[in-house]
Amino acid sequence: MTVCLGLMCVLLLVFITLYITITAERDMLKSYKNTVEEFNQTINSLQDNNTDLMTEKDQLKNNFNSLSRMKLELETRVNDLSAEKSQLQRSFDSLSQKKLELETELRRLSTQGNDTFFISNELMSWSESRKFCRDRGADLIIINTEEKQTEVIREEQKHQIQALSAVSASSIQRSSLSCLSVFEFI
């Protein structure tokens, strides 16, 4: 009986050891299973983040390309505007020089006491023409005959005086004392 009791104790000890081992392995298996699930969730989350980041990267790349094109267009526009500015500055300088030359010629002619006429190329009413002349220290007069108009124009061409201002398509103004306006006869 002692042997039986010893054998039972050994069997009981083996059974308890097996039970503890099986329980520990089962708990370890649950732990591994939980860890595997957490890893799978982490992998899925990382894959989702990766997909989102790749989408965002593509959007940023498209935005970068779009901004690069826009920058190139703006640089082209700046270059065009700079060239246009340079051209306008040259035109302005040329016109300023021409203005100075014409002002010098006007001063020279007015000091000589000769009649100076402005031949205009803009059509204005009598009131507008008179105001134009008065703004320049002159007055508006009319030559009623075509012969006298032709004579004044011919005399003006003899003196080779340039047209300095505009009052009407066929009007002429005189500088300093009077401004002459000639109207076309129909």
How far apart CA 145 and CA 185 sit, in angstroms, is 9
User: In b/e form, how buried is each residue of 33-48, taking b as 16+ CB within 10 angstroms?
Assistant: eeeeeeeeeeeeeeee
- Is a pLDDT exceeding 70 seen at residue 155? no
Q: Higher model confidence: residue 129 or residue 143?
A: 129
Q: Find out whether 16 and 8 touch, Cβ atoms under 8 Å.
A: no
Residues contacting 119, CB < 8 A, separation 6+: 153, 156, 163, 171, 172
- Is a pLDDT exceeding 80 seen at residue 122? no
